[in-house]
Amino acid sequence: MRDFMLHFILLIFFIIMTSCSSNQKYDNIVNVSNMIIRGGNLGAITWEDELKFYHYSWISQGQLQFDIYLAKIDLKSPFAKWFSPSELILAEKCQTFIVSIQYVGFSSTITGSNFDKEMNKNNFSKVGLIDFNLHLMNHPNYRNRILKRYHLNAYCPKVPTNLTKQNDPLLISFPGYKDQILEY
CB 128 within 8 A of CB 94: no
Closest by alpha carbon to 170, among 61, 71, 40? 71
Q: Residue 130's CB: how many other CB atoms inside 10 A?
A: 11
pTM value surpassing 0.85: no
Per-residue pLDDT of the chain (184 residues; tens, 9 = 90+): 666 566 566 656 656 655 554 444 568 999 999 999 999 999 999 999 999 999 999 999 889 999 999 999 999 999 999 999 999 999 888 878 899 999 998 888 899 999 999 999 999 999 988 999 899 988 988 878 778 788 899 999 987 655 445 567 899 999 999 999 998 8
Provide the CB-side half-sphere exposure for 31 (13 A, CA): 11
CB 90 within 8 A of CB 127: yes
- Rounded CA-CA distance 34/36 in Å is 7
Q: What is d(CA 38, CA 48) in angstroms, rounded to the nearest whole number?
A: 6
